[in-house]
A and B are shown apart, each in its own frame.
Chain A
Amino acid sequence: MLVVEDVSVHFGGKAALDDVSLEIGAGEVVALLGPSGSGKSTLLRAIAGLETVESGRIAFNGRDLAGVPVHERGFGLMFQSYALFPHLSVADNVAFGLRMKNVSDEEVRARVAEVLGWVGMEHFGLRRVDRLSGGEQQRVALARTLAPRPPLVMLDEPVGALDRMLRERLVEDIGRLLDREGAAAIYVTHDHEEARVISDRLAVMRDGKVVQSGPYETLAAAPATPWVAEFLGVNQQA
C-alpha cells in the first residue's frame, strides 16, 4: 500500500533521513521507534508532503506521490503538539477535513458526532479548544485526524505530552479505533512499551536510518546491534 524507497531529506547539509525504506500493507500498524532527533517525525512529514524529498520515492497504492501537494494526498497526520485551530470550536476542528472534501452538512454533523463519541468528547462540541485539558486536546486531535477516514493515519507521539496513567489508557483506545477504521497507521514513539502494545511491526530508527524492522518478538529475540537491544530494553545475555 505505502512504499517508501531510499528516501533522503537534508536540513542545511545534514541528513535528517538517510536512504530510508519502509513498506506498510493495508490495515497494518507500524510503530516508528527511536530517540528524539532520529528522523521519525521527518519521515512522517515527508510522507505527508510537508518536507521536500531529495532522492528516493514515496508511492501509495502504486501511485508516485512526487509532485502531489500536501492537501491532495488525503492522509491523516496527528501533530505532536496537536495543532488544533484556536479560532474554531471542538466540533469545527473535527469537521475541518470533512468540509475540505465538500461533504454535505448533514453528513459532516453525523460524522463529527460519531467520531467525538468514539473519543468520549461528544459533549464538548461547542467548547473552545483553548479551554481543554491536555488529555482532552489529544482526543480532539485524534478525532480530527480520523474524521475524514484517511486510508493512512500517521500519529506523531500522540500521547507523548500526557502523564503516564492517561497514556496507557489512551494507547489502548487508539489501538481500538485504528482497528475499527481498518486504516493503515504509522505510530511514532520513543517508548518501546507503547510500540509493542500498539503495533503489528516495529521499525527502529537512529540518526536518520532504519536500523532494524520486524515484529517486536523478532527484534527482541535477535536485536541487530547492542544499541537496538538496549533501546528495546532487552537483556542481550538472556
Chain B
Amino acid sequence: MRAGRPRSGTALLLVLPILFLGYFFLYPLIRILWLSLGGEGWIDAFTRRRFIEAAWFTLWQASLSTVLTVMAALPLTWVVSRFNFRGKSLVRAFVTIPFVLPTVVVGAAFLAVFDAGLGALIAAHVFYNIAVVVRTVGGVWSRIDPAVEQAAAVLGASPIRRFREVVLPLIKPALASASAIVFLFCFTSFGTVLVLGQGRLRTLEVEIYQQAVNFLDLPVAAALSLIQLVTVAAILVVSARTQKRASALTLASETRLPAPKRGGQRRTAGAILTVSLGLLAIPLVGLVGASLDGGGIGWRSLVTDTPSAVDPLPAIGNSLGYALIASLLAVVVGGLAASWLSERGAGGWFDLLLMLPLGTSAVTIGFGFLLALDRPIDLRGTAAMVPLAHALVAIPFVVRATLPLLRSIKRELREAAAVLGASPGRVWREIDLPIVTRALAVGAGFAAVVSLGEFGATSFVVRPASTTVPALIFRYLGRPGSSSFATAMALAVVLAAMTALIVLLIDRVRGAETGMF
C-alpha cells in the first residue's frame, strides 16, 4: 500500500504559523540571547552562589518529586489498569482533576491545608502529576494481555517477581516517558513554588522572575533563561526518544479485564483506591473549606466592592475574555499548523518549532515578550500582551490535541465514503468537516484551559488594571489578613470550577481517549 501523498499547495498553510511563531517566539528568544551577551550575565549565572543553589534546588526537588510521584501513582495505576469495577471512569476523571487545575490553585489548595514550605511543595507536585503516570503508564498496562502474567504464575513466579520480571519490562518505556514529563513539569514549576515557597524556595524559574522583575538584573535573567531552555530541550529530546520506543511496543488489543477477585486481592485494591483518592481529596476539600472560613467573607468579597483591592469580578471577566481571544488565536495558528502536519509523518523541523514553546518555560516567554515586543509597534503596555502570551503557550497543546483527530481522516476513509456513493463534495461534508470541527473544538477547549490557568508568562506582562484571576489570587495570598486569604481561596474555587467545566466539555466532544501528551 502506498503512503498518502501530501497535497500540493499546503505550504501556504504555514505562512501564518511561521510569522506568528517567528515574531512572538523566536524573535524574543534572540533578544534574550543578545541581552545575555552584554554585561556579566553568563559569568554571574555560573559563579554566584545564589544561582548555583537555585539550580541545585531545582534539580533535586524535581528528581525527588518525580520519584515520589511514580511511587504514589503505581499502586493506583495497577488498580485502574488491571481491574474493572463500578465507578471506574469516575475514578479516572477524579485522578485527572489535579492535573487540569491551574498551578496557582494547586498552590492555594495546599496552603489551605499545610504550612508553606518544602513538604507542601513536594506534596503539591506529586498531587499535580499523579494523573500523568496513571494515564500514560495505565494506557500501556491495561493493554498487556492478562494471560502473560498468568503464564508467569503457572511457571512459578510470585506476584512480586511477576511484576518485576514481566510487567515492569513491558511498562518501562511508558514509565520512563511519564517520568520525563513529570520531571519537566517539576523542573519548570513556577506558580506553585512562588505560592508555597514564600520567597525562600527558589527554582531557576523563580530566580529568573526575581532577577528580571525585582532586581532588574536583566543580563543574568537572560542567561538563566537560556540555561533553563537548553536543559528543558534536552529533557524533551530524551522523553521523545523513550516515547518512540513505547509506541514501538506491540500489545494485545483491548483485553477484557476481570473484576478483582474476592478476598485478599479485593481488599488490597479497595485499600489502594480509598487511600489514594482520600489523599487526592484532602487539598480539594481543604480549598473549598478555607474559602468558606470566616462566615463566607471570601465569597462575599467577590461581589462587594473592596476598597484599595482590585475587584475580583472584573478579573474573572478579564480572564474569560483573554481565554476567548487566546483560544481563537491558538486554534487558528495551531489548527493551520496541525493540518499541515497531518498530511505528513511526525518529526521534522516544523514539528520541533511548534513544540518548542512547550519546552520553553512560561517565565521565559513572558520575559521575552517584555524585552522584545517594542517594535514595530510597542505592544508592551497594552492588554494584548496577555492573550498573545497565552496563545503562544497554548499552541503546542492545540497541535497535540487536534493532530490525532486530523490524522484519523486517512485517505482510506475518504475512499470508503466514495465507494459507498459519496460525491467529492459530500465526502468533504460528511467525513472531513465533522472531524475537523471536532478537532478544533477540542483544541479551543485546551487553549482556554491553558489560558485560564496561565501564570508564569502572565506575571511578566499583566497590567494591574486588567489583571487575570491567577494573578489576582497570587496578590491576595500575598496580603496580610484572613479575609484576603479567604478571598484568594474563593477565587481559586471559582477558577477551578471554570477549568473543570471546560475539561468536561472537551471530554464530551472528544469522546475517545487521546492523550494530551
Task: Mark A residues whose CB is within 8 Å of B.
Answer: 11, 41, 48-50, 69-77, 79, 81, 83, 85-87, 96-97, 100-101, 128, 130-131, 133-134, 144, 148
Interface string of B397-414 (1 = CB under 8 A from A): 000000000001010110
Of A11, A49, A76, A100, chain B has the most CB atoms within 10 Å of the CB of: A100
Q: Are B420 and A144 in contact (CB under 8 A)?
A: yes
**Contacting residue for A77 out of B2, B253, B416, B422, CB 8 A:** B416
Q: Is the CB of A83 within 8 A of B421?
A: no
Residues in A neighbouring B435, C-beta threshold 8 A: 86-87
A221 to B431, CA, bound (A): 49
Q: Is the CB of B408 within 8 A of A71?
A: no
Contact at A83–B420, with CB atoms within 8 Å? no
Can you spell out 20 A-B residue pairs with CB atoms less than 8 angstroms apart? A48-B415, A48-B419, A50-B415, A69-B418, A69-B423, A70-B419, A71-B418, A71-B419, A71-B427, A76-B419, A83-B410, A83-B413, A83-B415, A85-B431, A86-B413, A96-B422, A97-B420, A101-B421, A128-B512, A148-B421
Known: A41-B1, A87-B435. A130 touches B512 (CB 8 A): yes
- CA–CA, A86 and B434, complex, Å: 10
Mark B1-23 against chain A: 1 for CB-CB distance below 8 A, else 0.
11000000000000000000000
Give the distance to chain A from B83, nearest Cβ to Cβ, in Å: 18
Bound form: Cα–Cα A48–B512 in Å: 31
User: Given that A101-B421, A148-B421 are known contacts, is A83 also in contact with B426, CB under 8 Å in the complex?
Assistant: no
What is the minimal beta-carbon distance from A15 to any residue of chain B, in angstroms? 14
Number of interface residues of B (CB under 8 A): 27
B434 adjacent to A79 (CB under 8 Å): no
- B253 to chain A: which residues have CB within 8 Å? 133-134
A41: chain B residues at CB < 8 Å are: 1
Whole-angstrom distance between the alpha carbons of A133 and B256 in the complex? 10
* Chain B contacts with A in 371-418, Cβ cutoff 8 A: 408, 410, 412-413, 415-418
Residues of A close to B419: CB separation below 8 A = 48, 50, 70-71, 73, 75-77
Beta-carbon nearest neighbor of B434 in chain A: A87
- Residues from chain B with a CB closer than 8 A to the CB of A148 are 420-421
How far apart sit A73 and B421, CA to CA, in the bound complex (Å)? 8
CB distance from A126 to the nearest CB of B (A): 13
Inter-subunit contact A71/B423 (CB<8 Å): yes
Q: Give complex CA distance A50, B2 in Å.
A: 13
A96 to B427, CA, bound (A): 11
B256 to chain A: closest residue by CB: A133
Q: When chains A and B are docked, how far (Å) is the Cα of A144 from the Cα of B417?
A: 11
Is the pair A100, B2 in contact by a Cβ cutoff of 8 Å? Answer: no
Given the interface contacts A41-B1, A130-B512, A133-B253, does A85 sit within 8 Å of B413 by beta carbon? Answer: yes
Contact A71 B1, beta carbon cutoff 8 Å: no
With a CB–CB cut-off of 8 A, which chain A residues contact B426?
71, 100
Q: Are A100 and B412 in contact (CB under 8 A)?
A: no
B residues contacting A by CB (< 8 A) are 1-2, 253-254, 408, 410, 412-413, 415-424, 426-427, 430-431, 434-435, 438, 511-512
Q: Beyond A71-B421, A71-B426, A85-B413: 14 further Cβ-contacts under 8 Å?
A: A48-B419, A71-B417, A71-B424, A77-B419, A83-B410, A85-B431, A87-B434, A87-B435, A87-B438, A96-B417, A96-B422, A100-B421, A134-B253, A144-B420
CA distance A77 to B412 in the complex (A): 11
Quick check: B416 and A83 within 8 Å, CB to CB?
yes
Give every chain A residue within 8 A of B2 (Cβ-Cβ): 11
B408 contacts A97, C-beta separation under 8 Å: no
A59 to B420, CA, bound (A): 19
Are B422 and A100 interface neighbours, CB within 8 A?
A: yes
Task: Report the nearest A residue to B1, measured CB to CB.
Answer: A41
Residue of A nearest to B512 (CB): A130
CB contacts (< 8 Å) of B430 on chain A: these are 96
Give chain B nearest CB distance to A116 CB in angstroms: 16
A87 CA to B426 CA, complexed, in Å = 15
Min C-beta distance of B360 to chain A, whole Å: 33
User: Are the C-beta atoms of B415 and A100 separated by less than 8 Å?
Assistant: no
Residues of A within 8 A of B422 (CB): 71, 96, 100
Assembled-state Cα–Cα distance A148/B1 (Å): 27
Q: Is A70 touching B412 in the complex (CB atoms < 8 A)?
A: no
CB closest residue in chain A, given B426: A100
What residues of B have a CB within 8 angstroms of the CB of A72 in the complex?
A: 421
Chain B nearest CB from A125 CB (Å) reads 16
Name the A residues within 8 Å of B431 (CB-CB). 85
B415 contacts across to A, CB distance below 8 A? 48, 50, 70, 79, 83
Closest chain B CB from A127 CB (angstroms): 11
Residues from chain B with Cβ under 8 Å of A134 in the complex: 253
Q: Which one of A11, A83, A87, A97 contacts B412 once the chains associate, using CB atoms below 8 Å?
A: A83
Which residue of chain B lies nearest to A73 when distances are taken between CB atoms in the complex?
Answer: B419
Decide yes or no: A128 and B421 within 8 Å by CB, A83-B410, A85-B413 being known contacts: no
Q: Which 8 A-B pairs have the closest CB atoms?
A: A100-B421, A97-B420, A70-B418, A83-B416, A83-B412, A77-B419, A71-B418, A86-B408
Q: How near does chain A come to B67, taking the closest CB pair, in angstroms?
A: 35
In the complex, what distance in Å separates the CA atom of A133 from the CA atom of B423?
A: 30
